[in-house]
Amino acid sequence: MNNPASDTITFTGILPAGTRLDHYLVELTDGEYSRSFLQKKIEEGFVLSGKAQLQKSSFKPKEDIPVQLTIEPEPAYTLSGNDQSVPILYQDEYLAIIHKPAGMTVHPGTGTGDDTLVHSLLSQMESLSEGSSPERPGIVHRLDRDTAGLMVIAKTSQAHDALSSLFAQRTIQKIYHAVVWGEMHQAGELNGFIFRHPKHRTRMKFIREESLKETKEEVPEDAKSASLSFSPLHHNRALTLLRIELHSGRTHQIRASFAAIGHPVAGDPLYGSDDRFARLYHFGKKHWAAIEEYGLMLHASSLSFAHPFTGKPLSFSLPLPDVFEGVAAEN
């Protein structure tokens, strides 16, 4: 039902017993809104059952209950394309695979201009999904500003939901390469919890599961599980080149995880100090000038998944920048 006075839209229905709230809302709205958009509305308190707010997307009632979803008009938000293109490795009517360069912010936000990835996509593609908010059309996942590499872009709301589900189910294989400080000889896993750092709000904090048994450190309620596996490719006395498979996609996960075990990513001023590590490993400044020039030594190297609509296996990879092998070469 539409209220023309305010342009507020209200949907009412009956949530069947045992049905996830967010899944039902997609059906209730006839697919007009993506599931990620509806999940945001759930979290913001726009879904009621009687007078009670339903604020968990995964909520499943034990019996049929009435629900009401209110969609308020979004504030005016205008985006336009720019003349900066990004490489498109693949695209069809549903999705695209692009190569985001280092130094490019994914979507507009505080302090950004019209030079984000979203601005570039708008100038290169005829359609993008609505995304989880007006400033994020097409964006299903993200890379840090200083991380280069592969991203999958949704071109329709249906594709956005399908790709989001693949990420949630961890059926998209994401391979990164990173150069970290220190020698690492053994392959391993980093499983634990990640959350906003209580003192340094621009950083995330990672705690390994096994360390919790020893330290008894408390994990905040809003902490999220984080998991990755890694294997060293080669190293010298100061640096190690790692192949990393990311099993969960959390903000700053790789950077925070390796910093937590004393091996921060090289070129990362937020989680490590290149000057300090260079002195620690007697790695003269002239030898790590390449790191200073390149920046964050983290690269989203490959993506592999089954196309959500055709089932066709898709696999994409990028060559590793020469500087990654060069600075971590054995000597």
Q: What mean pLDDT is predicted for residues 170-185? A: 94
Rounded Cα gap, residues 60 and 15, in angstroms: 8
Q: What stretches of 128-203 adopt beta strand conformation (E)?
A: 148-154, 173-181, 188-196
Two tokens, residue 200: 């340094």
Which of 27 and 159 is assigned the larger pLDDT? 159
pLDDT band at 284 (very low <50, low <70, confident <90, very high): low
User: Domains along the chain?
Assistant: 2-71 (3.10.290.10), 88-169 (3.30.2350.10), 175-327 (3.30.2350.10)
Is residue 2 pLDDT above 50, yes or no?
no
Give per-residue burial for 72-94: e unless 16+ CB within 10 Å, then b. Answer: eeeeeeebeebeeebeeeeeeeb
**Annotated catalytic residue: which of 64, 92, 144, 274?**
144
* Position 5 confidence tier, pLDDT thresholds 50, 70, 90: very low
Arithmetic mean of pLDDT over the chain: 87
pLDDT of residue 33: 76
Predicted local distance difference test score (pLDDT) of residue 280: 82
pTM listed for this prediction? 0.76
DSSP class of residue 293? H
207-265: per-residue pLDDT in tens?
998 888 777 778 888 899 999 999 999 998 899 999 999 998 898 999 999 999 999 99
* Active-site annotation holds for 83: no
* Separation CA 295–CA 209 (nearest Å): 30
Q: What is the mean pLDDT of residues 91-100?
A: 96
Q: pLDDT tens, 108-160? A: 775 667 788 999 999 999 899 987 777 888 999 989 889 999 999 999 999 99
Q: In which region does residue 27 sit, left (phi positive, over 0), alpha (psi from -120 to 50) or beta (all else)?
A: alpha
What mean pLDDT comes out for the span 30-45?
81
* pLDDT of 4 higher than 50: no
- Residues in Cβ contact with 208 at an 8 Å cutoff, skipping those fewer than 6 apart: 190, 191, 192, 260, 261
Higher pLDDT, 210 or 283: 210
When pLDDT is cut at 50, 70 and 90, the band that residue 9 belongs to is confident
- In Å, how far are 129, 164, 169, 278, 316 from 161, measured between CA atoms? 9, 5, 12, 45, 21
Of the given ranges (154-163, 269-278, 299-308, 316-325), which has the lowest mean pLDDT? 269-278
pLDDT at 199: 81
For the chain, the maximum distance between any two Cα atoms, rounded to a whole number of angstroms, is 72
What is the pLDDT averaged over residues 46-60? 91
260 in helix, strand or coil?
helix
Buried b (16+ CB within 10 A) or exposed e, 237-254: ebbbbbbbebbbbbebbb
> CA-to-CA distance for 296 and 268, rounded, in angstroms?
5
Q: Please, which residues have CB within 8 angstroms of residue 196's CB and are 6 or more apart in sequence?
A: 203, 204, 205, 222
pLDDT score recorded for residue 216:
73
DSSP state, residue 258: H
Q: Are 142 and 16 in contact (CB under 8 A)?
A: no
